[in-house]
Structure 1
Amino acid sequence: MYGAITGDIIGSIYEFENHKSKAFPLFSEASFFTDDTICTMAVIESLLDDVDPAITLRKWGAEFPDAGYGGMFGTWLRRPDMPPYNSYGNGAAMRVSPAGFLAYSLDEAIDLAIKVTAVTHDHPDGIAGAVATSSAIYLAYQGEDPSAIRLFISERFGYDMGQSVDEIRPWYEFDETCPGSVPQALTCALEATSYEDAIRNAISIGGDSDTVACIAGSLAEALFGMPSEIAAEAERRLYPSMKRLMERMYHDRGRQNPAKG
């Protein structure tokens, strides 16, 4: 979804130079997609074409080998015989948004999330991070109130969803695990007043900024939609193959592609 990919692009320049404020330019000439976007594309293709996600992840990884993959995942991409490696990194949640977008029920959102996650991130915390994100996105598209989604995530997954963005910001640090980034990212969206506000929340807490903004952005699009000018600016940085795949996904669900106005 453009919500996730735009968050990744905006957060790309802040990942290693955190900006603990909501005041910053959304885009610069250095803003570009990272592994979050590449893996999201792979998941979209897997679900649209009913292909093993291991195949599409390795296909897209081979096409974009220098996108900043984590160490173990990078090894997995290069080794077709390598099984899941018990990861609970936030890579599970950064790529899962199409599962919530394309699902026709909450059960399907959960099942699809597990399907596209377990090929690598088969640790229970990795699965939980992906399922929580996919479920939140699906519920938002069904019109559930942010407070109801927050309660569902807290009760279902045991995440601490009680802190505000202002309470998270002072102590939050770089954390690439699902337990240490998914609840914070979801909070950034659930507390927001718009798509842009969710992204500003996500960047402002610091940490693994591109992934936190990617996760927050995926939920924020489901909650608020997103301004076409922001989506179009993100689309400008994508390859033609990516644009075509995104258009297919929105068309598949009869939803307006926000990059097209």
Structure 2
Amino acid sequence: MLGAICGDIIGSWYEFRNIKVKDFQPLFHKGAKFTDDTVCTVAVADALVHDLDPVVTLQRWGREYWSNGGWGQRFNLWLADDNPQPYNSWGNGAAMRVSAAGLLGTSLDDALDLAHRVTVITHDHPEGLKGAQATAAAIWLARNRKNSEEIRQALVERFGYRLDMTVDEIRPGYKFTESSKDSVPQALVCALEATDFEDAVRNAVSIGGDSDTIAAIAGSVAEARFGIPDDIAAKAWSFLPVDMRSVMTALYEQAQP
């Protein structure tokens, strides 16, 4: 989960200022901040850790941190609605917020069920659901010591994603999109090709596009593969208010080893 938040913060500066290089400096730009991706990630974790209705937690956290911006137009309306309903979203917002499902799942099927529970309330389009479940599956598999090729094969077989491209092949022509089918596979490649956590996030930022969300997805999987270096974790933690830290602490206490 902190991996997703690291990716969100690091990628935030570049979402509308795309770069196509990996060696950007510093890793955390002075203009970096946590965005709606972090808020929604915490909201989903809050629901799963405390067995709450994810509609309630997403609306509560979203309204509390509305000013952080970045909300999609339809999700923004959903947040404000007193009777919110799924809106057939095929976007990547479900995948970027789902990491707690991969961390808390007691089995792969359980992780997929948790991902479905927190996704279908907004992203009930098949592509939106697929993106969230594929991300949760990648996290669960990585935490259970599957290597990158085993994870890649499992995701291709279960979800039908094309994951045979490389980051260098993706980068030149990749453009901004919020479509799950055109951003989740790319984010997964960034994580699976990486040599360590930082490399995964740099891969994600370097392809351009929806940088904070792609880096959040890649970061969530990379955390499960590699862990997070202490200096990067501490820097991301320093951006977060106390209420978010409390949810994260509770999640890691409950997550399967």
Match of 1:11 in 2: 11
Q: C-alpha separation between the residues in 2 aligned to 1:204 and 1:142?
A: 28
Given candidates 110, 132, 135, the residue that maps to 1:133 is: 135
Q: Which string of whole-angstrom CA distances, capped at 9 and with x for unpartnered residues, describes residues 5-44 of structure 1?
A: 0000000000000010001121122111000000000001
Instruction: Tell me how far 1:80 sits from its aligned partner.
Output: 2.2
Q: C-alpha separation between the residues in 1 aligned to 2:64 and 2:7?
A: 22
Determine helix, strand or coil for the equivalent of 2:172: coil
Q: C-alpha separation between the residues in 1 aligned to 2:82 and 2:174?
A: 36
Match of 1:258 in 2: none
Which residues of 2 match residues 35-74 of structure 1 at below 5 A? Answer: 35-67=36-68, 68-74=70-76
Q: C-alpha separation between the residues in 1 aligned to 2:111 and 2:201?
A: 23
Which residues of 2 match residues 1-261 of structure 1 at below 5 A? Answer: 1-24=1-24, 25-67=26-68, 68-253=70-255
Match of 1:175, as an amino acid?
T
Match of 1:228, as an amino acid?
D
List alignment gaps of at least 5 residues for structure 1.
Answer: 256-261
Does structure 1 retain, via aligned residues, the 8 Å contact 2:8–2:34?
Answer: yes
What TM-score, normalized to structure 2?
Answer: 0.98
Instruction: Tell me how far 1:175 sits from its aligned partner.
Output: 1.0
Q: C-alpha separation between the residues in 2 aligned to 1:215 and 1:28?
A: 19
Q: C-alpha separation between the residues in 2 aligned to 1:50 and 1:80?
A: 21
Match of 1:17, as an amino acid?
R
Q: Which runs of 4+ in 1 moved over 3 A?
A: none
Instruction: Tell me how far 1:254 sits from its aligned partner.
Output: 6.4
**Number of matched residues?**
255
Q: Which string of whole-angstrom CA distances, capped at 9 and with x for unpartnered residues, describes residues 37-83 of structure 1?
A: 00000001000111110000000011011222100000000002131
List alignment gaps of at least 5 residues for structure 2.
Answer: none
Instruction: Tell me how far 1:152 sits from its aligned partner.
Output: 1.2
Q: C-alpha separation between the residues in 2 aligned to 1:223 and 1:195?
A: 8
Q: Which string of whole-angstrom CA distances, capped at 9 and with x for unpartnered residues, describes residues 70-102 of structure 1?
A: 000000000021310000100010100000011
Identity within the alignment, %: 56
Does structure 1 retain, via aligned residues, the 8 Å contact 2:190–2:201?
Answer: yes
Q: C-alpha separation between the residues in 2 aligned to 1:95 and 1:45?
A: 11
Q: Which string of whole-angstrom CA distances, capped at 9 and with x for unpartnered residues, describes residues 178-227 of structure 1?
A: 10100000000000000000001000100000000000000000000110
Q: C-alpha separation between the residues in 2 aligned to 1:247 and 1:30?
A: 26
Q: C-alpha separation between the residues in 1 aligned to 2:135 and 2:255?
A: 19
Does structure 1 retain, via aligned residues, the 8 Å contact 2:103–2:256?
Answer: no
Determine helix, strand or coil for the equivalent of 2:181: coil
**How well do the aligned residues superpose, as a CA RMSD in angstroms?**
0.9
Q: C-alpha separation between the residues in 2 aligned to 1:28 and 1:155?
A: 38
Q: C-alpha separation between the residues in 1 aligned to 2:107 and 2:156?
A: 20
Does structure 1 retain, via aligned residues, the 8 Å contact 2:106–2:256?
Answer: no
